[in-house]
Amino acid sequence: MTRADPSFLPIPGIRLGAAAAGIKYPGRDDLVVIELAEGAACAAVFTRNAFCAAPVVTAREHLEAKAPRYLLINSGNANAGTGAAGLEDARASCKGLAGIVGCDPGRVLPFSTGVIGERLPLGRLIEALPRAVEALSEEGWAEAARAIMTTDTVPKLAFWQFEVDGRPIRVTGMAKGSGMIRPDMATMLAYVATDAAVDPALLRDCLGQAVAPSFNSITVDGDTSTNDACVLMASGAGGAAPITARGSAAYRGLCEAVTGVCMELARAIVRDGEGATKLVEVLVEEARDEAEARDVAYTIAHSPLVKTALFASDPNWGRILAATGRAGVEDLAIERVRIWLDDVCIVRAGGRADDYREEAGQAVMSQAEFSIRVALGRGEAGARVLTCDLSYDYVRINAEYRT
């Protein structure tokens, strides 16, 4: 398993095209069409937010009924909280693309990201579709990654390859996300493709395995979006033998590669969190079960007091201790709990570690990336969550989001 050189970015059988529709910002690409080769397999997971967006509802319906040939993505408008009219717009956008490319509208999956509660400017979107289709190319990943950005500061791309019986198999992915990030399957969209031929049921299983430690283990601000989606496409155009057995080396290699791409993209999302200056890994160990460990990790990762201390590079260990204590762990024996900043122990035996020195904690928290590690002393389960700090710029970006 290796991370591939950027020259491996294109995936045979997957073409992408971007165009400017003027949905929110003039003069920048904000519309993407992805074309899947006939016979390609596709799997997707979506937000669990009860107010899921109209394109999420439509994409689910279409995916259950037919094998997709096209994905249609717009940035700048979420088409969420728009009721029956939003559903009509989502379906009309699918019909518009289908009319250009000559396919059933049910074989188009729509995706949107941006401002909630405003009607999709359908006319501008439909008008730009021919330009996006004309731009379709296997080389179009970088342009597409930029076009789906909203408050992101950089496009997010990842690419891996592995071999099966001497034949290379490629996996490429792109994602957008910077705020409203705490996926539950933030505003987060991710698209991953492989040139492997994969049984559809195995592709769904592979995607489920990949999102659990990646997109479902990150948080910027604790908000789960109305529009979250992650799609895994398998074109089958790479020439390797089809992957049909769950226990095969090829399937294991595919799962490793897809998970690796998703992990890279998830890390890039948190690193690019709105106003973020720190990337922090929260590790919880020695829990009774994984659910308990995740509760503690997310309580720390979501604490505004912890997150502002991270921004200030202030080793205010009492905030981490307090968050651990209020995470709802029943009968927590505080004398067994230990807490570290990287390798610097800050809490032991119910209070500040005897050998802890403020300057050591300060040195860790002044870094751009570090870890908070908590051992609960209760069992053998653990969890890992990626988070970031909470800065002045986060407030500014979200206060000005609609202006």
C-beta of residue 206 within 8 angstroms of C-beta of residue 214? no
- How far, in Å, are 107, 207, 306 from residue 200 at the CA level? 16, 11, 43
Residue with tokens 């990626």: 386
> Which amino acids are annotated catalytic?
187
Dist CA 197 CA 137 (whole Å): 20
Using left for φ > 0, alpha for ψ between -120 and 50, and beta otherwise, residue 58 falls in alpha
